[in-house]
Amino acid sequence: MPLTPQQIETFHTEGWLFLPELFSEEEVALLRHEADSIYDGNRPEVWREKSGAPRTAFAAHTYNEAFRLLGAHPRLIEPVEEIFGEHLYMHQFKINAKAAFTGEVWQWHQDYGTWKRDDGMPKPRAMNISVFLDEVMHINGPLLLVPRSQHEGDLKASHDTVTTSYPLWTLDEETVTRLVKKGGIVAPVGKPGGVLMFHGNLVHGSAGNITPYPRKIVYLTLNAVSNYIRTPTRPEYIAHRDFRPIEPVDDDALLRLARSHRQAAE
Ligand SMILES: O=C(O)CCC(=O)C(=O)O
């Protein structure tokens, strides 16, 4: 379903857009189940918190059928193609766990800050579009966004390799305070199946999760094909080198797979 002109305008002004219930419970239940079995395995693409709990699983679309279909799903690819007016390839794919009781912080940052410095991405013509696999609540570490901060461009950042297990180019407190004074902070919440898209320069982060409620979110980082990365430094499974345009699958492909899994289990 194409974005409405009003949604496109909101995205350009505010830097983010939330689309509730874009995926059904049947579709999301399969993804949740597959995510948990990926976390339970010991693939090198699964990164862990210092406690050993899963933090993120990279590149599941390359080895798991349900996530392959999600990574080429028209409900995710088409809105981003509409914004950029160009075909897209997958720059990064990750399933962030924010595990119950132990999920750790994501420091304040802009995604493009890392894509530019670590991967040599020329312009902020990439963005994250994310799918909630669990209910995201105000209490279980939702994403915190600073609306309209994308208009500030690429901000000064420093490489934080110590706060968490995942190195990130992060913003200082003075910068975040200045931008929050202007734009405030929002925390989009919603049921599993909701989709959040946000501009590559939108300032965001998330707090730790000390509740018994896990908060899994899948992030597709979709990059305009002409904006392919020039000087990657991170492993292939974190910053992909396959720049071929994504060909969307059928809209019901994930639902069909969910049904076939269910039948096989009965
Ligand atoms: O999942 C989260 O809480 C934050 C993830 C994030 O900020 C990112 O991947 O850039």
> Each residue of 67-118: pLDDT tens digit?
999 999 999 999 999 999 999 999 999 999 999 999 999 999 999 999 999 9
Q: Does the Cβ of 61 fall within 6 Å of ligand 1?
A: no
Helix (H, G, I), strand (E, B) or coil at 136: strand
Enter the pTM of the model: 0.96
Check residue 1 and give its pLDDT.
Answer: 75
Confidence of residue 165 (pLDDT cuts 50, 70, 90): confident
Structure tokens at 36: 């948990």
Cα radius of gyration (the chain): 17
pLDDT for 63-79, tens place per residue? 999 999 999 999 999 99
Check residue 115 and give its pLDDT.
Answer: 97
Residue 201 identity (one-letter amino acid): N
- 94 alpha carbon to ligand 1 midpoint, in Å? 9
- 206 alpha carbon to ligand 1 midpoint, in Å? 7
Q: Are 113 and 169 in contact (CB under 8 A)?
A: yes
Check residue 255 and give its pLDDT.
Answer: 98
CA-nearest residue, atom 10 of ligand 1: 111
Q: Is the pLDDT of residue 222 over 90?
A: yes
Tell me the average pLDDT of the chain. Answer: 97
Q: Which residues does 258 contact at the CB level (< 8 Å), separation at least 6? A: 26, 27, 29, 30, 66
Confidence of residue 164 (pLDDT cuts 50, 70, 90): confident
Q: Is the pLDDT of residue 138 over 80?
A: yes
Q: Does the Cβ of 110 fall within 6 Å of ligand 1?
A: no
What average pLDDT does the segment 122-146 reach?
98
pLDDT for 139-151, tens place per residue? 999 999 999 999 9
The percent of residues above 90 in pLDDT, for the chain, comes to: 95
Helix (H, G, I), strand (E, B) or coil at 230: coil
